[in-house]
């Protein structure tokens, strides 16, 4: 079960007579304005425990400090965060009640109420969700649970980081309220019948207060005393923010206001909203207050795809992903065979900043019969597609599911098959229809497709079709393996690639000499992580081997009679080669003359099995010391440097400068392979060589 739905093992809060007077509204409207009471004025007798002051966890203090002093302009996101928490709490009680009816207020309407008070400069947000007891208030609102967030905040000074950055890293959640609040009071009553209500009070300073409260209804009520420059007590402003950020929340969000004239009600009742919603509205005019539903609650995934406008998808995504940019692509699928699926999936346009962080909660929202079963389900798509966001609703999933039963359910397997196939197909279609958009996808998420190739053998062909490469001939474009294969000469039998730590290094690689000279195309594998996976999992394409051009035994197409036979050249270089072996000794596997070098004097080639190389590389990536396969140093007999060295060696076999030059030839080759353990150590030798070269 996910974190949110797990029944936590919570101790009861310290008992005591409730004494605070944060009143509940009349039945049916659990949120009615009571003005802020000055603290502690309602302490009744000596039996009740006094208010307790508690210190925030250090990281929370830091976060609050940053939020309070930020110049961040989009302060209205606080409302989105509080509504999203309320909606989570409602989902949780809804889920709880599938199996447990023994909860406080079992019949309460599941909804969210916003109640501004312009005169008092305050806003109240209430929900009839799962609620919190005293200890939950302490844990949830006094600490930060995400280890990643804690690590991030640890040590940042105020001013060193911005709200934008924090949002990018882990979101701000509840604490965002302190961007707009002078004081916040959270009064909550847990759904567990034995629990009493508590109020949590904070002005965003270093401590908060807890007092027993008198709240009869289940749920949470947040009273915000707004900072003077914040206009969030204006109804129109709230309505506008809800439309923009929370329109698709699946529970009604009511705006509670003092009841206006009769005609006002008729006007709202006359709106196009569904009959049910209208009934609710008229019902809820009592005790001088009215409530108007201000969100549309549309379950967009349950609508027919051709009735939904592009902008609705975009808006739905922005609300789902709490403020991300418009998505690159949406996939709307409604089907009932072989299994009932109603889904809207999104490919975001940007890789989330935290996608590789351990604390990230990814996965699709899973509904069954409109009830949220899981907020982050990871069984509905293969792991490598975890950048896909969206909602899946299926009537074929049993309602009383636990995490394990979802995983093992045959319907889940069928859904995930369908979704994975569909996502890959839509990406392929995107590539055909809008190459530029696909390039953007590839730039952000290509590494996931490469990772998929290492794990998803079933969809291997689709994944291969989605791969894109830069090559010695691609310029700024991305090419497919298909394109590569189409334009290679008839006598070429393998697909060549060069590996390097980045694109610039790839372009400079000495291994390209021969291929550039013979107009053969070589793919760049320049992502040290993703391409390491790729070289392990992509061994061939259309029965052609993928070959790393640094392999000692690489086969190149016949290019009749354009070089001196390697054997001859090798013989001519024999003396120098021996001298190289003497100097380099055990550091190299071998030294030999090469016919594949043109521009460069030397290179290091790999003589081992390609699998052990892959293993070596992965170990290095994971920071482990792997035994390194020794390389073969190859020399270019036609290069001026090599010819000069040969002449020197023949003139004086013991020439000390020759030793230094050989060492430097080797070091240069190491540098080009990104294998040099200590480049700075070369300076002394380079200096000696420069002194020798500069002698007049």
Binding residues for ligand ADP, rule: CB under 6 A, are 81, 85-86, 88-89, 127, 129-130, 132, 140-141, 173-174, 220
Rounded Cα–Cα distance for residues 364 and 194 (Å): 34
Q: 3: Cβ–Cβ under 8 A, 6 or more apart, which residues?
A: 361
Cβ distance to ligand ADP smaller for residue 140 or 161: 140
Distance in angstroms (rounded) separating the CA atoms of residues 544 and 485: 9
CA 328 to CA 430: how far, in whole Å?
Answer: 10
- What is the C-alpha to C-alpha distance for residues 616 and 549, in angstroms, rounded to an integer? 17
Which does residue 327 bind out of ligand ADP, Mg ion, none, counting CB within 5 to 8 angstroms by kind? none
Residue 394 sits in the site that holds Mg ion (CB under 5 A):
no
Give CA–CA dist 236/116, Å, rounded.
Answer: 10
Nearest CB to ligand ADP, comparing residues 89 and 549: 89
Shortest spacing between CB 172 and Mg ion, in angstroms: 9
Q: How far is the CB of 167 from ligand ADP (least distance, A)?
A: 12
**Comparing C-alpha atoms, which of 241, 370, 391 is closest to residue 316?**
391
**Closest distance of CB 132 from ligand ADP, Å:** 5
CB of 252 to Mg ion, least distance (A): 19
Select 147 or 574, whichever has its Cβ closest to ligand ADP: 147
Least Å distance, CB 136 to ligand ADP, is 7
Q: How far apart are alpha carbons 466 and 446 in whole angstroms?
A: 9
How far apart (Å, rounded) are the C-alpha atoms in residues 88 and 94?
10
Which residue lies nearer to ligand ADP by CB, 375 or 617? 375
Q: Single out the residue of 235, 266, 282 nearest to residue 113, CA to CA.
A: 235
Q: What are phi and psi of 95, to 5 degrees?
A: -65, -45
CA distance 188 to 221: 6
Interacting partner of 345 out of Mg ion, ligand ADP, none (Cβ under 5 to 8 A depending on kind): none
Task: Tell me: does residue 173 bind Mg ion (CB under 5 A).
Answer: yes
**Do 478 and 440 meet the contact criterion of CB atoms below 8 Å apart?**
no
Residue 59's binding partner out of ligand ADP, Mg ion, none, with CB under 5 to 8 Å set by partner kind: none
Residue 140 interacts, among ligand ADP, Mg ion, none and using kind-specific CB cut-offs from 5 to 8 Å, with: ligand ADP
91-99, 172-180, 573-581, 636-644 -> range binding Mg ion (CB under 5 A): 172-180
C-alpha span between 610 and 551 (Å, rounded): 8
Q: Is the CB of 8 or the CB of 491 nearer to ligand ADP? A: 8
CB of 325 to Mg ion, least distance (A): 20
Cβ contacts of residue 431 below 8 Å, gap of 6+?
Answer: 438, 466
Find out whether 359 and 151 touch, Cβ atoms under 8 Å.
Answer: no
As a whole number of angstroms, the distance between CA 536 and CA 499 comes to 12
Q: Which of Mg ion, ligand ADP, none is residue 348 near (CB under 5 to 8 Å by kind)?
A: none
3-state secondary structure at position 11: coil
Q: Which is nearer to ligand ADP, 138 or 339 (CB)?
A: 138
Interface segment toward Mg ion; rule CB under 5 A; list 42-50, 166-174, 473-481, 589-597: 166-174
Kindly tell me which of 81 and 312 has the beta carbon lying closer to ligand ADP: 81
Q: Which is nearer to ligand ADP, 218 or 342 (CB)?
A: 218
Q: Which is nearer to ligand ADP, 90 or 226 (CB)?
A: 90
Minimum CB distance to ligand ADP, residue 303 (Å) = 27
Alpha-carbon span 372 to 691, nearest angstrom: 75
| Closest residue to Mg ion, based on beta-carbon distance | 173
Smallest distance from ligand ADP to CB 272, Å:
30
Which are the contacts of 209, defined by CB distance < 8 A and separation ≥ 6?
A: 39, 51, 52, 53, 54, 200, 201, 202
Q: Which residues contact 133 (CB under 8 A, 6 or more apart)?
A: 10, 12, 13, 188, 190, 192, 195, 196, 198
Q: Which is nearer to ligand ADP, 87 or 291 (CB)?
A: 87
Give all strands of the β-sheet with 522-525 in edge-to-edge order: 470-471, 522-525, 495-499, 544-548, 540-541
Comparing CB distances to ligand ADP, the nearer of 322 and 614 is 322
- Position with the least CB separation from ligand ADP: 173
User: Taking the complex as a whole, how short is the minimal distance between the CB of residue 96 and ligand ADP, in angstroms?
Assistant: 12
Binding site partner of 128, from ligand ADP, Mg ion, none, Cβ cut-off 5-8 A by kind: none
89 binds, among ligand ADP, Mg ion, none (CB under 5 to 8 A by kind): ligand ADP
Instruction: Kindly state the smallest distance separating residue 375's Cβ from Mg ion, in Å.
Output: 11
Cβ-based burial of 439 (10 A; exposed 0-12, middle 13-18, buried ≥19): middle
State the binding string over 71-100 for Mg ion (x if CB under 5 A, else -). --------------x---------------
Least separation, in Å, of the C-beta of 5 and Mg ion?
Answer: 15
The partner in contact with residue 67, picked from ligand ADP, Mg ion, none with C-beta cut-offs of 5 to 8 angstroms by kind, is none
Which of ligand ADP, Mg ion, none has residue 129 at its interface (CB below 5 to 8 Å by kind)? ligand ADP
Give the 3-state secondary structure of residue 334: strand
Q: Which two tokens stand for residue 668?
A: 């240069």
Residue with smaller CB distance to ligand ADP, 5 or 308:
5
Work out how close the CB of 245 gets to ligand ADP at its nearest, in angstroms, rounded to a whole number.
Answer: 14
Residue numbers 106-165 binding Mg ion by CB under 5 A? none
> Binds 181, which of ligand ADP, Mg ion, none (CB < 5 to 8 A, cut-off by type)?
none
In angstroms, the CA 228 to CA 307 distance is 44
Residue with Cβ nearer ligand ADP (141 or 549): 141
Q: Considering the complex, what minimum distance in angstroms separates the CB of residue 322 from Mg ion?
A: 8
Examine residue 158 and say whether the peptide bond preceding it is cis (omega within 30 degrees of 0).
no
Report CA dihedral (432, 435, 440, 443) to the nearest 10 degrees. Answer: 80
Say if residues 588 and 578 touch (Cβ distance below 8 Å).
no
Q: Tell me which of ligand ADP, Mg ion, none is bound by residue 117, counting a contact when its beta carbon lies within the kind-specific cut-off of 5 to 8 angstroms.
A: none
Binding partner of 220, given Mg ion, ligand ADP, none, CB within 5-8 angstroms per partner class = ligand ADP
CB-nearer residue toward Mg ion: 18 or 173: 173
Kindly tell me which of 173 and 348 has the beta carbon lying closer to ligand ADP. 173
Which of Mg ion, ligand ADP, none binds 213 (CB below 5-8 Å, type-dependent)?
none
Contact of residue 541 among ligand ADP, Mg ion, none (CB under 5-8 Å per partner type): none
DSSP for 217-252, written as a single string: SSEEEEEEEE-TT--TT-HHHHHHHHHHHHTT-SS-
For the beta carbon of residue 139, count every other beta carbon within 10 angstroms. 14
Least CB distance from residue 173 to Mg ion, whole Å? 4
**Secondary structure of 289-318 in HEC code, one letter for each residue:** EEEEECCCCCCHHHCCHHHCCHHHHHHHHH
Distance in Å, CB of 85 to Mg ion, minimum:
4
Residues at the site binding Mg ion, with contacts judged by CB under 5 A: 85, 173
């Amino acid at each position: 079960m996910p974190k949110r739905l797990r029944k936590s093992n919570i101790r009861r809060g310290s008992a005591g007579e409730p004494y605070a007077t944060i009143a509940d509204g009349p039945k049916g409207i659990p949120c009615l304005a009571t003005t802020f009471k000055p603290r502690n004025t309602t302490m009744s007798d000596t039996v009740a425990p006094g208010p307790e002051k508690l210190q925030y966890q250090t990281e929370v203090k830091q976060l609050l400090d940053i939020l309070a002093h930020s110049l961040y302009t989009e302060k209205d996101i606080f409302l989105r965060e509080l509504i999203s928490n309320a909606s989570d709490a409602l989902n949780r009680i809804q889920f709880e009640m599938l199996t447990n009816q023994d909860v406080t207020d079992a019949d309460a309407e599941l909804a969210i109420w916003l109640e501004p008070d312009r005169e008092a400069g305050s806003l109240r947000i209430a929900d009839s969700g799962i609620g919190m007891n005293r200890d939950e208030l302490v844990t949830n609102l006094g600490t930060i649970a995400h280890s990643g967030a804690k690590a991030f905040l640890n040590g940042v000074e105020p001013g060193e980081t911005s709200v934008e950055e924090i949002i990018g890293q882990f979101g701000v959640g509840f604490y965002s309220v302190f961007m707009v609040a002078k004081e916040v009071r959270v009064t909550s009553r847990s759904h567990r019948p034995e629990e009493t209500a508590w109020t949590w009070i904070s002005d965003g300073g270093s401590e908060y207060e807890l007092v027993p409260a008198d709240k009869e209804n289940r749920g949470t009520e947040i009273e915000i005393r707004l900072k003077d420059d914040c206009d969030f007590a204006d109804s129109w402003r709230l309505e506008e923010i809800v439309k923009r950020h929370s329109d698709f929340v699946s529970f009604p969000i009511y705006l509670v206001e003092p009841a206006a004239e009769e005609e006002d009600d008729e006007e709202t009742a006359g709106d196009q909203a569904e009959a049910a919603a209208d009934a609710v509205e008229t019902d809820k005019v009592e005790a001088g207050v009215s409530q108007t539903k201000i969100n549309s609650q549309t379950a967009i995934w349950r609508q027919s795809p051709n009735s939904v406008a592009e902008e609705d998808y975009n808006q739905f995504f922005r609300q789902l992903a709490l403020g991300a940019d418009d998505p690159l692509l949406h996939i709307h699928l409604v089907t009932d065979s072989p299994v009932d699926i109603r889904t809207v999936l999104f490919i975001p346009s940007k890789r989330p900043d935290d996608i590789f962080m351990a604390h990230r909660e990814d996965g699709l929202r899973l509904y069954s019969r409109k009830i949220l079963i899981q907020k982050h389900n990871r069984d509905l798509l293969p792991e490598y597609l975890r950048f896909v966001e969206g909602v899946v609703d299926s009537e074929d999933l049993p309602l009383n599911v636990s995490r394990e039963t979802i995983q093992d359910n045959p319907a889940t397997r069928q859904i995930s098959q369908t979704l994975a196939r569909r996502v890959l197909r839509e990406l392929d279609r995107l590539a055909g229809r809008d190459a530029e958009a696909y390039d953007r996808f590839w730039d952000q998420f290509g590494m996931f497709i490469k990772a998929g190739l290492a794990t998803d053998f079933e969809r291997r062909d689709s994944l291969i079709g989605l791969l894109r490469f830069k090559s010695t001939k691609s310029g700024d474009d991305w090419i497919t393996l298909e394109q590569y294969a189409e334009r290679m000469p008839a006598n070429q039998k393998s697909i060549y690639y060069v590996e390097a730590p980045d694109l610039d290094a790839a372009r400079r690689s000495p291994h390209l000499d021969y291929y550039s000279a013979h107009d053969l195309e070589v793919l760049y594998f320049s992502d040290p992580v993703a391409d390491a996976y790729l070289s392990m999992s992509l061994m061939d394409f259309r029965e052609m081997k993928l070959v790393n051009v640094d392999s000692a035994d690489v086969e190149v197409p016949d290019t009749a009679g354009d070089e001196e036979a390697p054997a001859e050249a090798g013989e001519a270089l024999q003396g120098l080669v021996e001298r190289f072996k003497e100097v380099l000794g055990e550091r190299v596997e071998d030294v030999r003359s090469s016919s594949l070098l043109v521009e460069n004097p030397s290179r290091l080639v790999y003589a081992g099995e390609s699998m052990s190389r892959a293993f070596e590389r992965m170990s290095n990536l994971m920071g482990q010391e792997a035994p390194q396969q020794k390389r073969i140093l190859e020399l270019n007999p036609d290069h001026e440097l090599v010819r000069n060295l040969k002449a020197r060696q023949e003139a004086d076999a013991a020439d000390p400068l020759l030793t230094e030059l050989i060492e430097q030839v080797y070091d240069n080759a190491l540098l080009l392979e990104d294998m040099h353990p200590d480049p700075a150590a070369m300076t002394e030798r380079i200096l000696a060589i420069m002194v020798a070269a500069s002698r007049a």
